Amino acid sequence: MTLANQLAKHLRDVHFGGNWSTVDLKNTLSDLTLEEATTKIYSLNSILAITFHMAYYLDVLIGVLEENVLNGKDELSWVFDTPGTEEEWKIFQETIWEKVERVTLLIEKLPDEKLTKEFLDPKYGTYYRNIAGIIEHVHYHLGQVVIIKKLLAHEK
């Protein structure tokens, strides 16, 4: 298995299951209502906000891998429209799973030597650093989502 394939697998696993931590985003979100997803606990971001934030960087990575264009700003990763219905909340989740599949297929096509190349600009490091960083970022925020979900259950 190439390094690119391993990275793609790790990204899939943190979203769909099979990773070492045995926690994944899809299953964690699967039983959350829109009301729960939009509820803020203390000064923490809502689960919806965190979920959008994670998905934002998938779009940025897709732009780089498909079009060789880096189009993203950290502050925009928290700007989103709140779904108005449960159906829209489910559709939003489905778009994330589609993005994960799309980006992992793109990652799998990368030759391993590309992983050591600059990610469009030297200040961003390598392709490997950015892909691995996105995986780490999802794990970090998934932990937050799990804790917030437990706090929401405790508040009921």
pTM score, whole prediction: 0.95
What are the backbone angles phi and psi of residue 147, rounded to the nearest 5°? -65, -45
> What is the full per-residue pLDDT of the chain (156 aa) written as tens digits?
999 999 999 999 999 999 888 999 999 999 999 999 999 999 999 999 999 999 999 999 999 999 999 999 999 999 999 999 999 999 999 999 999 999 999 999 999 999 999 999 999 999 999 999 999 999 999 999 999 999 999 987
Instruction: List, in order of start, the domains of the chain with CATH numbers.
Output: 3-155 (1.20.120.450)
Sign of CA dihedral 67, 73, 77, 79: negative
